[in-house]
Chains A and B, each alone.
Chain A
Amino acid sequence: MPMSYYLILSAAMFAIGVLGVILRRNPLVVFMSLELMFNAANLVFVAFSAYHQILDGDLFVFFVMTTAAAEVAVGLALMVAIFRAKRTIDLDEMSMLKG
Chain B
Amino acid sequence: MDIGVLLVYGILGLTVIVSAVGLIVSRNALYSALFLVVNFVAVGLLYLALGAPFIAFAQVTVYAGSIMVLFIFVIMLLGAENLMLDEPLRGQRALGILLVVIFLAEIVLYYLLRTTPLQAIPAIPQTFASPAEIGMLLFNRYLLPFEVTAFILLAATVGAILLSKHEGPTRPKPGIQKPETPVEG
Contact = CB atoms under 8 A, between A and B. Distances in A.
The answer to whether A and B assemble together is yes
Interface of A: 1-7, 9, 11-13, 15-20, 22-29, 31-33, 35-36, 39, 42-43, 46-47, 49-51, 53, 55-56, 58-59, 61-63, 65-74, 76-81, 83-84, 89-90, 92
Nearest to A12: B17
A56 B93 CA distance: 39
Main secondary structure of the interface of B (DSSP, over half): helix
B58 interface: yes
Interface centre among B39, B77, B121, B153 (most CB of A within 10 A): B121
Interface of B: 5, 9, 13, 16-17, 20-21, 23-24, 29, 32-33, 36, 39-40, 43, 46-47, 49-52, 54-55, 58-59, 62-63, 66-67, 70-71, 74-75, 77-78, 80, 83-85, 87-88, 92-93, 96-97, 99-100, 103-104, 107-108, 111, 118-122, 124-125, 128-129, 133-134, 137-138, 142, 145, 149, 152-153, 155-157, 159-161, 163-164, 166
Given A11-B104, A16-B20, A23-B96, A81 B149 contact: no
A9 B80 contact: no
B156 A73 contact: yes
